[in-house]
Amino acid sequence: MHMRIFDLEIPEKAVLAPMAGIADSPFRLMARACGAGMVFSELVSADGLVRNSGKTRRLMDFLPEERPFGIQLFGHDPAVLAEAAKIAEALQPDCLDLNFGCPARKVVRRGAGVGVMTDLDRMGRIAEGVVRAVRLPVSAKIRTGWEEGKPVAVEAAKILESCGIRALTLHGRSGQAAFRGAADWSVIRAVRESVSIPVIGNGDIVSAADALRMLTETGCDLVMIGRGALGRPWIFSAVRTLVETGRPSEDPPFRDRIDACLEHYRTALRLLPEAKAVREMRKHIAWYTRGMPGAAELRREAFTLTDPEDVRTRLEAFRDRAGEPRPVPLPEARPEQTEAGHYSLDKSRDF
């Protein structure tokens, strides 16, 4: 059964998370091609938009094939966010999303992201101001609260609903917890039961089985996947298959996974400057090949190659040697967010 959220019909149960430094247009296109019901921009600074930063504005670029597409804004000043929302609306995305959940220190220090949840009155003024400033539907992403063990998500959700927010995403960790420990899905259920707007669950979904369990246990309307899609965009089709048929799906064979990586790379070269495409694909190559024999050597080499053709040739050679008949389970590919937009490949953390 399709879900209506905003004025859109979302045909899938899983959407892609807005990940700073990762969820660019090539990655979003891969996710949509693999069955993501909706995608969002990387985090866009309201202050940067109002200051007319070219780099910030480029974060909002998207292609028609990415729709349904939302632009996610973060900031701390209600007036600045309202002005930024008008700028973003001019690009005609399908919705705007307010980030009240990012725990990165450089964001929280400015009173933005999950830092807003220390002042629910200001959160309400931000939401109300943005909703009034634009015609587009506005959603919001929150955490359980700022302080560990003291959730305020239900109160926050009710405030946001009263301000005209049309849908809510809840990550089941506090701001203090950042990416440590397990997400508390019981808070997602409590929020789902406290508001009438759609609720999207987020946190600790690294497999289709996790997605189905969250849908079942919390009653949330959709799930949002971040780390589980890194190097594995087919997780979205796996969720669809499991929800619709009850049948689990294996990860594709190694060769097919490298073919997907090559398609991602071709898209990046088409949409980004060559040097940036090569640089941005390094982390994705590491994720696509994680768990494969020889992946560590490939990863080291990929981080030194600068010529686009050399990268393609190296990936094709790696693919042609990856001839094992069946896939093996992948370890969880969880990058650690150390600052907004910077991730470590070797740590295990959740978005």
What CATH topology corresponds to 7-245?
TIM Barrel (3.20.20)
Question: Is residue 155 packed enough to be buried (19+ CB in 10 Å), middle (13-18) or exposed (0-12)?
Answer: middle
Average pLDDT, the chain: 90
Domain layout of the chain by residue ranges = 7-245, 254-321
Which tens digits make up the pLDDT trace of 214-237?
999 999 999 999 989 999 999 999
Instruction: Tell me the residue type at 6.
Output: F
Say how far apart CA 258 and CA 176 lie, in whole Å: 37
Based on the residue annotation, tell me whether 34 is a catalytic residue of this protein.
no
Asked if the model's pLDDT at residue 302 lies above 50, the reply is: yes
> At residue 345, does pLDDT exceed 70?
no
Q: What pLDDT does 341 receive?
A: 36
Interval 165-183 mean pLDDT: 93
Region 279-285: mean pLDDT is: 96
Indicate which residue of 34, 95, 102, 220 is catalytic: 102
pLDDT number for residue 75: 97
Distance between CA atoms of residues 8 and 306, nearest Å: 41
- Are 333 and 12 within 8 A, CB to CB? no
pLDDT at position 1 over 80: no
- Does the pLDDT value for residue 312 go beyond 60? yes
> What DSSP state is assigned to residue 336?
E
Q: What pLDDT is attached to residue 31?
A: 97
- For the cut 70, the answer to whether the pLDDT of residue 253 exceeds it is yes
User: How much is the average pLDDT of 101-106?
Assistant: 93
Structure confidence at residue 48 as a pLDDT band (50, 70, 90):
very high
Q: What's the one-letter identity of residue 137? A: P
Task: Point out which residues pair with 69 in neighbouring strands.
Answer: 39
Query: Of the ranges 125-134, 248-257, 275-284, which one carries the lowest mean pLDDT score?
Result: 248-257
User: Model pTM?
Assistant: 0.89
Specify the 3-state DSSP secondary structure of 173. Answer: coil
The answer to whether residue 336 scores a pLDDT higher than 50 is no
Whether the per-residue pLDDT at 347 is higher than 70: the answer is no
